[in-house]
Amino acid sequence: MANVAKAIHTEEPASDLPSRQARLAYRAGNDEQTAGVAPGFVQGNLAILPEKQAAAFHRFCQLNPKPCPIIGMSDVGDPRIPALGLDLDIRTDVPRYRVWRDGEVIDEPTDVMAHWRDDLIAFVIGCSFSFEEALLADDIPIRHIETGVRVPMYRTNIVCSAAGPFAGPMVVSMRPLKPADAIRAVQITSRFPSVHGAPVHLGLPQSIGIADLAKPDYGDAVPVHPDEIPVFWACGVTPQAVIAAAKVPFAITHAPGLMLVTDLKNKQLAVL
Amino acid sequence: MANVAKAIHTEEPASDLPSRQARLAYRAGNDEQTAGVAPGFVQGNLAILPEKQAAAFHRFCQLNPKPCPIIGMSDVGDPRIPALGLDLDIRTDVPRYRVWRDGEVIDEPTDVMAHWRDDLIAFVIGCSFSFEEALLADDIPIRHIETGVRVPMYRTNIVCSAAGPFAGPMVVSMRPLKPADAIRAVQITSRFPSVHGAPVHLGLPQSIGIADLAKPDYGDAVPVHPDEIPVFWACGVTPQAVIAAAKVPFAITHAPGLMLVTDLKNKQLAVL
């Protein structure tokens, strides 16, 4: 056993994991965008709530697994989530945070040591970066990556199942694809239910309450070519929008585009 | 072993299989449509060719597995295909046949005893009935079944890979679906590669050379509602169209809608 452990350690010691290196840099104050950082490793959306609201939020995630797939969760007051990184500290390892009071952002610090409390519970929610990696690996082009902008996101008329104060519309991200690629993308992303899974819609944006693809509610617009259809996935912005709308007394999230980098590998999330 | 065999026999004797009962009726001269016959059992498209052309046709199927998934094949001159039914006789068990000479139908008999030759090889090719059953089981409505017509089919600009004299466009069948059902239908039919598998296209008929959905090349038109997109699957009419176009000296196929009913169960075709 010692030899096996040593062999694994020699091959890829935890300290050399690019995901851990990234977290250490963020912990030290780096606040660069996480897109493209530590390729192959899972990144997550962050939501931290007091125990009093956390149970309802947990139920909200349970009821709405497509926009809110939980990939990790802390114990009450515990800043560690060892399943996502042995030395991960949720108070310091995200590049930049948003601290919310009554639905308003009151601070955007690079750590939340000053805001941490013994009653907080952290939720880490899957992110589309993981399935985008699988799409790119299959040579399916992703427009917003090609054009170097943020993915376009839209509020829809799809109503999430409510839990306590948490309620609201599903937010979706959109990627234009040729029809054959859209079919392949359904197959590929179906293998990754913990990072939003299969699309929730394709082809008819008006059917889900999107009037104009050129005017996303979040992110940046991208062109949709005549031989492409828009394909929509449930988006991890949904829980953040729901937390804002609920105007809970206190919450912490990641700042947009500045995710938690974990030691999980994207490949590990595939169910088949 | 004897006891086991007896137990199986007692539970479901081969003579009581609804598929075998159907074949016996067809063998006796019945020539009713096979749609809805022996629910749960696989039906197949039939193509019989002389050994001289069979190898090239077999290569054509190999190169074009989506329109031409082979689910059974006879030996040279042998009218049996035990894997599809222990007592199946390919010369008599299809309700009605088409006999082709030089690309023209010269006879439409209810058996081909008079046309059988020692050099013939029979190919049985998967059919959409199998995946339609899986869609219906998942409460996905199928328009042509609801409206009691034949599925609309179209010649496309998708070029099949040629083999010997066998070449031509892929023929597709079309089912209008709401986008969420279309996504689910991709997932469900992906499990059934031997009966055409996942769709080949959706949303943009003109991209695959279909100018007007209201004018199918085979079958009947069905309405596509404003909240639906057309979803296209590779179709088993493709090999029949290719055989006709190749103007081979001699061939036998089933007559449209009058398929071979086998003892395989649709469920057995699922790969996952």
Distance from C-alpha of B239 to C-alpha of B246, rounded to nearest angstrom:
10
Alpha-carbon distances of A41 from A111, A133, A136, A143, A173, rounded to whole Å: 22, 10, 15, 22, 21
| Nearest alpha carbon to residue A122 among A264, A243, A267 | A243
Q: Is residue A72 part of a domain?
A: yes
Q: Is residue A272 part of a domain?
A: no
Banded model confidence at residue A14, pLDDT cuts 50, 70, 90: low
Contact indicator for A201, A207 with CB cutoff of 8 Å = yes
Q: Kindly state whether residues A54 and A156 are assigned to the same domain.
A: no
pLDDT value of residue B7: 34
pLDDT value of residue A272: 85
Q: What is the dihedral of CA B257, B263, B266, B271, to 10 degrees?
A: -130
- Strands (DSSP E) along B164-209, which ranges? 169-177, 201-202
Q: Kindly state whether residues A56 and A109 are assigned to the same domain.
A: yes
pTM (predicted TM-score): 0.88
Contact indicator for A118, A105 with CB cutoff of 8 Å = no
Question: A206-211 long-range contacts, Cβ below 8 Å, gap at least 24?
Answer: A207/B178, A207/B179, A207/B227, A208/A156, A208/A157, A208/A158, A208/A172, A208/A232, A209/A155, A209/A156, A209/A157, A209/A158, A209/A169, A210/A154, A210/A156
Q: Is residue A217 part of a domain?
A: yes
Residues in chain B within 8 Å Cβ distance of A203: 179, 182, 202-203, 229
Q: Kindly state whether residues A67 and A194 are assigned to the same domain.
A: no
Q: Kindly state whether residues A209 and A262 are assigned to the same domain.
A: no
Using DSSP bridges, classify how beta strands B260-265 and B153-159 pair: parallel, antiparallel or unpaired. Answer: unpaired
Banded model confidence at residue A7, pLDDT cuts 50, 70, 90: very low
A179 and B201 within 8 Å at the Cβ level: the answer is yes
CATH number of the domain where residue B61 is located: 3.40.1640.10
Mutate to test the interface with A, among B172, B181, B183 (most CBs of A within 10 A): B183
The answer on pLDDT for A10 being more than 90 is no
The answer on pLDDT for A205 being more than 60 is yes
Q: Kindly state whether residues A75 and A177 are assigned to the same domain.
A: no
Return the CA Rg of chain A: 19
Structural domain range at position B106: 2-26+40-126+239-265
Tell me whether A42 touches chain B (CB under 8 Å).
Answer: no
Tell me whether A187 touches chain B (CB under 8 Å).
Answer: yes
B241: which 2 tokens?
Answer: 């169209």
The one-character DSSP state at A35 is T
Q: Kindly state whether residues A223 and A243 are assigned to the same domain.
A: no
Contact indicator for A102, A94 with CB cutoff of 8 Å = no
Q: Kindly state whether residues A133 and A123 are assigned to the same domain.
A: no
Q: In one letter, which amino acid is A36?
A: G
A203 and B272 within 8 Å at the Cβ level: the answer is no
Q: Is residue A80 part of a domain?
A: yes
The answer on pLDDT for A6 being more than 70 is no
Tell me whether A190 touches chain B (CB under 8 Å).
Answer: yes
Q: Is residue A177 part of a domain?
A: yes
B180 and A190 within 8 Å at the Cβ level: the answer is no
pLDDT value of residue A103: 96
Q: Kindly state whether residues A231 and A138 are assigned to the same domain.
A: yes
Say which of A179, A202, A227 has its CB closest to residue B179.
A202
Q: Kindly state whether residues B66 and B92 are assigned to the same domain.
A: yes
Q: Is residue A256 part of a domain?
A: yes
CATH number of the domain where residue B206 is located: 3.30.2040.10
- Render each residue's pLDDT in chain B as its tens digit; 272 residues: 333 333 333 445 567 899 999 999 999 999 999 999 999 999 999 999 999 999 999 999 999 999 999 999 999 999 999 999 999 999 999 999 999 999 999 999 999 999 999 999 999 999 999 999 999 999 999 999 999 999 999 999 999 999 999 999 999 999 999 999 999 999 999 999 999 999 999 999 999 999 999 999 999 999 999 999 999 999 999 999 999 999 999 999 999 999 999 999 999 999 98
Chain B closest-CA separation from residue A229 CA (Å): 7
Q: How many domains in chain A?
A: 2
Residues in chain A within 8 Å Cβ distance of B179: 201-204, 207
Banded model confidence at residue A9, pLDDT cuts 50, 70, 90: very low
Tell me whether B272 touches chain A (CB under 8 Å).
Answer: yes
pLDDT value of residue B272: 85
Q: Is residue A194 part of a domain?
A: yes
Q: Is residue B270 part of a domain?
A: no
Q: Kindly state whether residues B233 and B246 are assigned to the same domain.
A: no
Helices (H), chain A: 2-11, 18-27, 51-63, 129-137, 143-146, 179-190, 237-246
A18 CB neighbour count, 10 Å cutoff? 15
Q: Kindly state whether residues B197 and B248 are assigned to the same domain.
A: no
pLDDT value of residue B13: 53
The structure tokens 């149970």 sit at: A55
Q: Kindly state whether residues B245 and B120 are assigned to the same domain.
A: yes
- Strands (DSSP E) along B35-148, which ranges? 41-50, 70-73, 97-101, 104-107, 120-126
